[in-house]
Amino acid sequence: MIKIINSGILSSFQDKGRFGQKKIGVSKSGALDLFSFQLANRLSGNDINEPCIETLGGFSCEFYTDLVLSITGPSDSFTINNNYIYKTNSSFNVMSGDKLEIPFPQNGNIFYLSVSGGFNIDKILGSYSYHQPSSITNNLRISSGDEIHVKTSNNKNIFLSENSFFKKWILNDENINIIYDDKFKSQNLRKMFENKEFTVSDQFSRQGIRLIGDPIDEFKEQNEISSEVSAGTVQIPPDGQPIILLNDSQTTGGYKKIGVIPSFELSKISQKPILSKIKFSEISLSNSIKNYREMMSEFDNIKIYNYTNRILKINDRLISVQILENNSIMAISSNKQFDIIEESFE
């Protein structure tokens, strides 16, 4: 069993999402960063769609059983018992009585926690995903004091992964691509939009992200007919500040739609830290599909290593050393700082 000490921000269970429920007003939901979600399951030896805990940090819990679990997301660190420091995108062993703390991220937004064997929870409307706008899935929201049961597992292996995929595709400062709506034909308006720089506001939720910047005044007067929207839709409300819809967005919307963020960029936009800068650039549907296939191929080939973790006490300081099976030192941590040195020793 796991007891939640502090649920942090927007913590919930998520899988890949639910499908076929828009007719009753329930959007897809599912993990905002699908790649970090799937990696968490790979590292803990689970089926790729086993539900994980999704959190924006400030999360802590205590374990009442021995477990293998993994944490993925921004390239940050987390702690066990306030002393043992681990690197994200790795799995590790915890024992009954251990306490985990996931801090607020510095390099992104969202972490995923997976336990080997999975959580013992029930599906709602065919999915384990919490849907923020409604009360239908409240049992899948995570609150302080919750006691969560886990399934049994004989897995004892722990792994860590290389970070080159995430640095290239998700945790970078490149522009966000957009596929323009056919109705947004004006090349002058497209050029004007792409020349603007926007800031990710603190109005971030599973429903969407509000951007702040020089307003787009051309859409102050709106007489739009409400139409279907989905994750990635870019809306311009009358105040001229763009909104990027995410997984828990409404199923229809009446604001002006100018385009959609392609699926290969959704994890990146979800991991954009508050106050980070965004500029948009046009991409064609065909190039979007090409990039998605390339991204999926590279994700499927992420290198994952068996490792052992050694905790050393040097001058009254705890030093965590992650050692690969070929005797390479992958990471050394002290005082929550990691050095990647990739050296070998005998």
Sequence spans of domains, the chain: 2-161+304-344, 169-299
> What is the mean pLDDT of each successive set of 10 residues along the chain, which is 346 residues long?
93 90 76 95 94 94 93 84 80 90 88 94 91 87 94 84 87 86 78 89 90 80 68 88 88 79 93 91 93 94 79 65 61 49 40
pLDDT recorded at residue 336: 47
- Give the separation between CA 27 and CA 268, rounded to whole angstroms: 20
- Give the separation between CA 44 and CA 114, rounded to whole angstroms: 7
pLDDT recorded at residue 222: 67
pLDDT recorded at residue 329: 54
pLDDT recorded at residue 344: 40
Query: Coil, helix or strand for 207?
Result: coil
- Cα atoms in the Cβ-side hemisphere of radius 13 Å centred on 324: 17
pLDDT recorded at residue 135: 82
pLDDT recorded at residue 256: 81
Q: What is the pTM of this model?
A: 0.88
What's the Cα-to-Cα distance from 333 to each of 22, 50, 221, 339, rounded to whole Å? 46, 30, 55, 7
Domain at 169-299, CATH homologous superfamily: Cyclophilin-like (2.40.100.10)
pLDDT recorded at residue 98: 92
pLDDT recorded at residue 346: 37
Instruction: Mark 290-328 as b/e (b = at least 16 C-beta within 10 Å).
Output: ebeeebeeebeebeebebebeeeeeeeeeebbbbbeeee
pLDDT recorded at residue 221: 66
- Give the separation between CA 158 and CA 308, rounded to whole angstroms: 8
Residue 127 has what DSSP assignment? B
What's the Cα-to-Cα distance from 311 to each of 85, 307, 317, 324, rounded to whole Å? 9, 13, 10, 15
CA 3 distance to own-chain centroid: 22
**Token code pair at residue 231:** 């994750």
**Token code pair at residue 185:** 């034909």
- Give the separation between CA 180 and CA 6, rounded to whole angstroms: 41
- Give the separation between CA 147 and CA 144, rounded to whole angstroms: 9
Burial of 339 (0-12, 13-18, 19+ CB in 10 A): exposed
